[in-house]
Structure 1
């Protein structure tokens, strides 16, 4: 059996990779880019930095900075209108997962029209929208190298998973220097998100030797460096390792899919506005413990790659160490419980059956080593409290 591997056409990795935007545009024959970003990237001066770099190469650009965390159907509409009313031939997606996910949706809707719901899974979107150059500024989502985007339909709080080659950026410029200003909270949330991507890709029923190699490499980079960047954001070596680890984890899950953590995470984010990486972090220990019995060897490999178990440890011992580590990591990185985050208990418990249905409908739990029932999902949600 063969596996199709889908990647950006260009993957530029390392210090100052973001300065290569003009040469990438030139190679694409594009001269009129729209920079899609958020207010924070403008405030930090990153958008201006990109514009200055483009201007030095006689390329004029405009900025759309109205993307929001956890993008919604209505939040991307202004961007779609901007693309439709402008004469843009490309998009530079600058920021964390939300601006890049927004840019992916805007690229398709801006060119082909329709509504976001028309493009949600199980439809596979192979149409090519405006070419996207993705420039991530967080080490976490990996969305710069994935064929996925997630947009929330605020009419029913559904996080719509949209899948296909049409959402894959044409280029990803992975420059760790853009993460040096990240605050500790975002560093932690995005870092655990990247770790979740790598682990879920590795244990996924859709895993392949290729995705496994990327996932293991990602865990070896993330495991020893996540605490380091949380405690010292100016640690260049640790930031660089996390950035590459995040991208490799993105490649892994883009080609092997995610599993139960993501399936259960999206409804929490949609209903209670919990940042995606944070809801993943809340779920990772409990879901891992639930799933280990059907993938003992693979989870033990994760423990060894992260660096909490050795080759001398049995799989059983390695897996015990893995669960202990995931809980300790959440404690050290100050990951709150749903209650500590401020979620109302009654509302959380009342919504559990709906969230379980939405999790199963997303398809992600089908990739899990143990495919859960709705009742088992509700049980895991209850454990979080």
Structure 2
């Protein structure tokens, strides 16, 4: 829609990786340098990591365009959670090998034979594994074993691993991956674009689709765009797509900062609220991939809520009874003290009758008696109210 309104040849901010739109930011230029160095070594592992949407897939698509397919054979694997045996079969199929059945030894033999044939014809072999953070330790160990294939003293297979930041952490700290870690000859982590790279990135994509100045970009949007997206290319694409769509709907020839604010606010409203997510279980490396994935998902799925049951009125009523009894016991103890005090007052009254007490003491004694009577009435009233309250609560709970 918006591409027609603004006269673009195609959508400039599509989310699908397209090497035609490759933009060489500072971090992507560094990544290409590491890739070039690693490929020249012709062995071991090259590791590229980055946040979701940082441009790993676009970088690899651009790299593949630069490779000479007469001298390099490339197999690609986009992984789900795979165990070691499944990894071998998927790697074999990525090179076009027919490995029907579940015979791991046969699959390994097919891969080795294929790599030898490629080397004899003067071609090197590169296996690209995307989403490497999904692989189990067992699958990564199988990839390491594949790197052992040699023709004489020349390695037959090189592997490029692409993954999210958690794969970088796993590779750096897992004791089980020490041998693989020693075979990494080049690694780079893709950083977000810098604030000054946002405008060149956007204009690079717009020029690629025939932008001729319509729409005009207000200068104030670039800082806001970087703040809203964190410099992640895919997020920039998402926001720019919505911004261009808003501009087309409102028939605007200039995209203003307030329009960008509206888009960002709308997208924030579209996003689901974040909730804590429990760490995902790794599929069992000893099970077939499909079974292991199913089991892991079942274990991660929250348990269904317990069926509603009738309230335990017996237990609740018993609790109220105990509360009332405790209150009554407390007041009974108070009554003992009051009775003792009253006996003392009565004794003083006897002394008054014999004429042994002064008039002032007599007045004080009368006041004490009045206060005792008042306190007793007040305590009894409070006790009655509290008993009525708790009994009413028990009746409501039972209802």
User: Structure 1 length as normaliser, TM-score?
Assistant: 0.30
Q: Which has the larger radius of gyration?
A: 2
User: Structure 2 length as normaliser, TM-score?
Assistant: 0.29
